[in-house]
Amino acid sequence: MRLCLIAGSGELPKVFLKSAREKGVEVFVAGVKGITDLQADEYFPLGKIERLLKTLERKGIKDIVMLGKFEHSLIFSHLLTLDELAIRILRKAKDKKPQTLIKTLMEELEALGFEFPDPKPYLEELLAPAGKISSKEPSKEAIEDGLWGFPIARQIADLDVGQTIVVKDKAVVSVEAMEGTQKAIERAGELAGKGCRVIKVARRSQDFRIDVPTVGPKTIEAIKKIKGDTLFVEAGKVYLLEKEKLIKLADKYGIAVYGL
């Protein structure tokens, strides 16, 4: 099997690449200039989709996996550099939500003969388990906040606004949108001070080919920065990046990590 990995930033593309190659899959890594921090086989400017497709056609590759972080706001800052196919996708999308844009991209490329296999089988070891993940147990108050905020977080994720909310004393302090998880956590600290709880979820009908929900050491660092005490993640649907490092940092900072 041969496939193309379009790699964004972060650890997830690296984990997928290692797992796929261990399973005997030949992977061509397509990097995006200024975004990809994995060593790519070839780099492409953001928005130059036609150039990438010509490369894949030349190599005889039809399967594509997209993983890693691509900031939603980049679309609006690179409008002048988009090629005709990218502009057509942008115009065809019914709205500019991340999920809508990626689905529209997939539909356009599938019409051209490309396919998008589910990357989940290569990443299952990263999925968050249910229950205690770090050494610290969440406090009774934290559990109450987590259980209260969990359905709210899922509703917001289903609306494709963001996959993270921050709560405190059964009030929503901040909601992740275009700015990303780290800045949403930092904003919560500015608004509510110490004792915030972060909740990360997936959509109820999460397509794991699209916008995979992840947390990692940077999430723990952000929670520590605002003096938060708990990170809740949806079990079986959120990926734990650099899991050992994440747990070690959480234990060092006295932060509870718990799968709901």
Task: Inform me whether the pLDDT recorded for 31 exceeds 60.
Answer: yes
Q: What gap in Å lies between CA 168 and CA 144, rounded to an integer? A: 10
Pair 167, 53 in one domain? no
Q: Give me 191's structure tokens.
A: 């608004």
Give the pTM.
0.81
Are 133 and 110 members of one domain?
no
Residues 143 and 89 in one domain: no
Give residue 75's pLDDT: 57
Amino acid at 103: K
Which residue in 50, 97, 107 sits closest to 75, CA to CA? 97
User: What is the domain extent for residue 13?
Assistant: 2-122
Looking at the fold, whether 131 and 216 belong to one and the same domain comes out as yes
The DSSP 8-state label assigned to residue 168 in this structure reads: S
> Based on the domain organization, do 112 and 63 belong to the same domain?
yes
pLDDT in tens, 58-90: 999 999 999 987 765 555 555 556 888 888 888
CA 175 to chain centre: 15
CA distance 197 to 170: 10
Domain count, the chain: 2
* pLDDT given for residue 37 in this prediction: 87
* Structure tokens belonging to residue 120: 């989940």
Main-chain dihedrals φ then ψ at residue 230, nearest 5 degrees: -150, 140
Say if residue 161 is in the same domain as residue 111: no
Quick one: pLDDT band at residue 152, thresholds 50, 70, 90? very high
- Does residue 140 share a domain with residue 42? no
Residues 84 and 136 in one domain: no
For residue 60, the model assigns a pLDDT of 95
**Same domain flag for 163 and 102:** no
- Do 52 and 83 lie in one domain? The reply is yes
**Are 150 and 194 in contact, with CB atoms under 8 Å apart?**
no
CA atoms within 13 A on the CB side of 58: 7
Task: Output the domain CATH number for residue 49.
Answer: 3.40.50.20
